[in-house]
Amino acid sequence: MELQQVSRSNGTPSNGSSSSVNLAPLLTGQFSNSRSDQKKAKALSDAIDRSLRADRERQLREGGIKLLILGPSETGKTTVLKQLKLLYGRKGLDVERQTYRRVVHLNVMKAMQALVEGMEQANIQLGNPQNAVHVETVRRLETTLKRYSITTVGVPNPAIPRKITDAKAETDMFADMVPAIKSLWADPGIQKTFDTCTQISIQDSAKYFLDAVDRVADPEYVPTDDDILQARVRTLAVSEHIFDIDGVAYRIYDVGGQKSLRKYWVPYFDDVDAIIFMSAISAYDQGCEDNPNLNRLQDCLLLFNEISNHKLFLHTSMIVFLNKIDIFQRKLLSGSMVNRYFPDYNGPNDYFSTTVFFQYRFLEQCKDLQKQVYTHFTHATDTKQMKVIVVAVNVIIQRLNLRNSGLL
């Protein structure tokens, strides 16, 4: 749980009430300069700091804005949460940094596995026939990688044999795979697959990590902030995080987006002040993981229809992030036609026209014409853009809450 400490110049909690922490009197001469007494003083100081943090956290829990981040899987919900940790968290992303080393290695291996599968499905030939041996090496990974699970950072799936979740075993396996990955990524056949087969199920950060194989394979590698933002981790549980965003306390809930997990969202629907609904606009040409015949973006529209018209959200601020605009632009440039997947679209296949179309499709899902739905086109791994958007969202939420309270 992240907590950005909130304080005022007079030392009182942010709500102006007296702190409930009982501080022992620090009398002159209570501690001598002996090492033993210095340790006692340090222990007392640390205990006071912990109590103050706990008290501030309690106060934030009791007040502030309750915000849900909702949306289907692979739309960028957890990436937005990582950005909030980086921008407003007390420790940023440092707590997770070492654990993400394993995540990055698995992301790289799974990216190359997806490219090899996509190349074979599209009947694309290798540019260098000698790389066929590396294709076989990657194929042998299929069974092994299916046994890996990264669902909550640092917590392996208990159903997986211990030897598979052993960090050293995974590091060694990745090191053995690096020559094959580098050779294949340089092959014209794999590059053609990446550029033209936009429908294959490949993580958005594939190019980012495959271009950096030498760096992430270094034995001394420590993931950077950008690496952590790009890394893909599937969320299976609901987690609560507390932030102070420009003086406003937020309790933010991140949820798993898989259909099987959506039934667990309902207990968090009470007293919600705002919802950020995540949609991957780049998924317009992809099928759902559990139902390839259902378009991912169509599924997202259906889900937003349910959320925006839910009886518990009549007075809840709605903000839609049409995310992954960088991937969306790349697909348009590669020649992927929007009207092939959305036949009701009859405009030009350029970025401006297609984004206006998708923006309207989301807005029309909300049946209450008096309710404002705010939309943002986002690139969630871009920290500079997200900082500007978070500030704008904070202003929107506060204004709408004042209006709903009759104060504006």
The residues that are catalytic are 74, 79, 232, 254, 258
Find out whether 169 is annotated in a ligand binding site: no
Task: Answer positive or negative: Cα dihedral of 85, 224, 239, 379.
Answer: positive
Say whether 165 counts as a known binding-site residue: no
- Specify whether the CB–CB gap between 394 and 319 falls below 8 A: no
The answer on whether 255 is annotated among ligand-binding residues is yes
231 is in an annotated binding site: yes
Q: Does 182 show up as a binding residue in the annotation?
A: no
Determine the Cα–Cα distance for residues 403 and 393; give it in Å rounded to an integer. 15
For residue 205, say whether it is annotated as part of any ligand binding site.
yes
49 is written with which tokens? Answer: 């700091």
CA angle 269, 273, 279 (to 5 degrees): 70
What does the block give as tokens for 147?
């046994």
Q: Is 159 labelled as part of a ligand binding site?
A: no
Taking the chain, what is the end-to-end CA distance rounded to the nearest angstrom?
Answer: 33
Report phi then psi at 179, rounded to 5. Answer: -60, -40
* 390 close to 397: Cβ distance less than 8 angstroms: no
**Does 127 count as an annotated binding residue?**
no
Q: Is 202 annotated as a binding residue?
A: no
280 is in an annotated binding site: no
Buried b (16+ CB within 10 A) or exposed e, 348-363: eeeeeebbebbbebbb
Q: Is 74 annotated as a binding residue?
A: yes
The verdict on whether residue 77 carries a ligand-binding annotation is: yes
Q: What one-letter code names the amino acid at 232?
A: R
326 is in an annotated binding site: yes
Q: Is 171 annotated as a binding residue?
A: no
258 annotated as belonging to a binding site for a ligand: yes
Q: Annotation-wise, does 170 bind a ligand?
A: no
Q: Which residues are annotated as a binding site?
A: 74-79, 204-205, 229-235, 254-258, 323-326, 380
Q: Which residues are annotated as a binding site for GTP?
A: 74-79, 204-205, 229-235, 254-258, 323-326, 380
Q: Which residues are annotated as a binding site for Mg(2+)?
A: 78, 235
